[in-house]
């Protein structure tokens, strides 16, 4: 049985590739892994995944020689603000080759940065749409920012310059305002960003009563990579966080998903520090303004009460005088009635009062002949005996 050696088979494959495959072509895929060797050459692997299952359906080794890699890497960073890293969607201008010893590979000649930017923007839009569909996109933004924000929980890399700038500007502010700041260290770049920042948020949530806000900061530059923050699990954690979350990821070119869900997002760590100082200063100014208004308000209130008391006093004086007049008039009427009832008045007009045994008697028929009675007149009291009674 005739057989080909492996070398002979690979020569046939190489000849087929040289004859049938275009020597320069644009190809798209996801960078699964990549590294820059000591000699400056770049080696990596490009894969394509099934969108429905996320399973790898194709893979190829890629190489980029040192001079070309230095140029392409700088160009990609200037256009996207990011470095080439695993997980990115790339469009590469490649020369497909097959070597009988090293197998199939793609020699990278150029890169299309706009394809990567478009892929990241599409990913970002999909995450935001999912957050909105889940009804949590605006949850953190709807929280009320406390009037006094002085207890700050910060998530940042411990040695990051952005953390140092933030802390220095906040704690040494020109207004002399006091803040309590604590760092919750986290990885802020690379494939562990999602799990590290989420873990830091969980630690803050466990002691949420000790903090007014949570701050996520990272300094940035033209070569930083922000795609690590375009994560649905991390964004969902921030959206549903019990405290207002303020972000200062340190980027001017674009926004991350975190900026969409955070209560307040600013461009840099120092901008976050300035925001917190200004917020507290506004509250202090408001308190001082109210303090200045208190004496005037108290004086005005006292004046109003003094005027009210004066009006009430006048009313009381008038009411008392009126009551006294009414009572005086009533007493006069009673006096007139009493004088009218004076029993001496009828005596002055010639009438007399008849008494029997000291009691006044009004009915004469009750007397009997021979009965002794007293008759009181104006100027004298007579004692007499009844001689006869003639009823009428």
Domain co-membership, 104 together with 199: no
Question: Do 101 and 214 have their domain in common?
Answer: no
Task: Estimate to the nearest angstrom the gap between the alpha carbon of 205 and the chain centroid.
Answer: 16
- Write the CATH number for 190: 3.40.50.2300
* Contacts for 34 with CB less than 8 Å, ≥ 6 apart: 42, 43, 44, 45, 62, 84, 85, 86
pLDDT at 200: 96
Residue with tokens 């806000």: 213
Give the pLDDT confidence score for residue 138 in this predicted structure: 95
In a domain, 377, yes or no: yes
Residue carrying the six token digits 């900061």: 217
User: With contact defined as beta carbons under 8 Å apart, do 384 and 372 qualify?
Assistant: yes
Domain end residue (candidates: 282, 298, 327): 282
**Residue 387 CA, distance from chain mean position:** 116
Would you say residue 125 lies in a domain?
A: no
User: CA-based angle 182:188:190, to the nearest 5?
Assistant: 160
Rounded Cα–Cα distance for residues 44 and 358 (Å): 145
* 17 CA to centre of own chain: 62
Distance CA 246, CA 259 (A): 9
Q: What is the pLDDT of residues 305-360, one digit of tens each?
A: 888 888 887 888 788 888 888 888 888 888 888 777 777 777 777 788 888 888 88
| Boundary residue ending a domain (282, 307, 322) | 282
User: Does 193 lie in the same domain as 104?
Assistant: no
For residue 170, the SS3 value is helix
Residue 309 lies in a domain: no
Q: Are 142 and 98 in contact (CB under 8 A)?
A: no
Q: What are the structure tokens assigned to 359, written together?
A: 């009691």
Q: What is the pLDDT of residue 252?
A: 60
The strand pair at 353-356 and 264-266 is best described as unpaired
Residue 375's pLDDT is 83
Torsion of CA 353, 354, 356, 359, to 10 degrees: -30
SS3 assignment, position 213: strand
Q: Same domain for 166 and 236?
A: yes
Is residue 228 a contact partner of residue 193, using CB atoms and an 8 Å limit? yes
Q: Which residue, 111, 143, 163, sits at the end of a domain? A: 111
Query: Tens digits of per-residue pLDDT, 146-180?
Result: 989 999 999 999 988 889 999 999 999 988 999 99
Q: Kindly state whether residue 335 falls inside one of the protein's structural domains.
A: no
Q: Domain limits at 179?
A: 132-282
How many distinct structural domains can be found in the chain?
Answer: 3
For residue 171, the tally of other CB atoms under 10 A from its CB is 14
Distance CA 269, CA 161 (A): 9
pLDDT value of position 223: 35
DSSP-based three-state secondary structure for 89: strand
Q: Is residue 316, in this structure, part of any structural domain at all? A: no
- What is the predicted pLDDT for the residue at 182? 96
Furthest CA-CA distance within the chain: 189
- Let me know whether 84 and 195 are in one domain: no
Same domain for 100 and 178, yes or no, is: no
Question: Residue 206's pLDDT is what?
Answer: 96
- Residue 302 belongs to a domain: no
CATH number (domain holding residue 81): 2.40.50.140
Inside any domain, residue 359: yes
Residues 145 and 106 in one domain: no
User: 139 and 79 in one domain?
Assistant: no
Q: Which residues of the chain have pLDDT under 50?
A: 221-224
106 and 136 co-located in one domain = no
The DSSP letter of residue 145 is P
Same domain, 93 and 150: no
Number of other residues whose CB lies within 10 A of the CB of residue 133? 9
Q: Rounded to the nearest 10 degrees, what angle do helices 66-80 and 113-133 cross at?
A: 40
- Establish if 330 belongs to a structural domain: no
Question: Do 148 and 252 reside in the same domain of the chain?
Answer: yes
Cβ–Cβ < 8 Å for 239, 271: no
Same-domain pairing of 104 and 138: no
For 190: left if phi > 0, alpha if psi spans -120 to 50, otherwise beta; the answer is left
């Amino acid at each position: 049985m005739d057989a080909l050696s492996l070398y002979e088979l690979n020569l046939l494959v190489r000849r087929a590739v040289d004859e049938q495959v275009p020597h320069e072509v644009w190809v798209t895929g996801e960078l699964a892994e990549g590294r820059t060797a000591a000699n400056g050459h770049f080696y990596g692997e490009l894969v394509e995944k099934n969108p429905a299952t996320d399973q790898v359906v194709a893979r190829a080794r890629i190489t980029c020689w040192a001079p070309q890699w230095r140029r392409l890497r700088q160009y990609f960073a200037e256009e996207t603000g990011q470095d080439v890293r695993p997980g990115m969607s790339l469009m590469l201008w490649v020369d497909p080759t097959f070597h009988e010893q090293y197998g199939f590979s793609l020699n990278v000649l150029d890169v299309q940065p706009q394809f990567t930017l478009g892929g990241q923007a599409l990913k970002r839009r999909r995450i935001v749409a999912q957050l909105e569909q889940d009804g949590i996109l605006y949850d953190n933004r709807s929280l009320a920012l406390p009037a006094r924000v002085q207890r700050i929980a910060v998530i940042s890399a411990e040695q990051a310059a952005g953390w140092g700038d933030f802390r220095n500007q906040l704690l040494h502010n020109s207004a002399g305002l006091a803040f309590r700041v604590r760092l919750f260290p986290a990885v802020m770049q690379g494939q562990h960003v999602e799990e590290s920042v989420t873990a830091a948020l969980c630690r803050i949530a466990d002691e949420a009563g000790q903090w007014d806000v949570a701050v996520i900061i990272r300094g940035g530059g033209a070569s930083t990579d922000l795609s690590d923050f375009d994560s649905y699990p991390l964004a969902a954690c921030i959206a549903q966080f019990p405290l207002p979350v303020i972000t200062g990821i340190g980027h001017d070119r674009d926004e991350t998903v975190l900026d969409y869900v955070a209560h307040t997002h600013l461009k840099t760590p120092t901008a976050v520090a300035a925001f917190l100082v200004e917020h507290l200063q506004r509250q202090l100014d408001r308190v001082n303004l109210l303090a200045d208004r208190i004496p005037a308000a108290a004086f005005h209130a006292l004046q109003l009460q003094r005027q009210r008391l004066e009006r009430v006093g006048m009313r009381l004086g008038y009411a008392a005088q009126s009551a006294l007049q009414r009572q005086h008039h009533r007493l006069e009427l009673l006096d007139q009635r009493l004088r009218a009832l004076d029993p001496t008045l009828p005596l002055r007009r010639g009438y007399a009062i008849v008494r029997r045994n000291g009691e006044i008697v009004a009915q004469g028929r009750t007397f009997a002949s021979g009965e002794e009675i007293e008759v009181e007149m104006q100027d004298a009291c007579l004692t007499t005996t009844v001689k006869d009674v003639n009823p009428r």
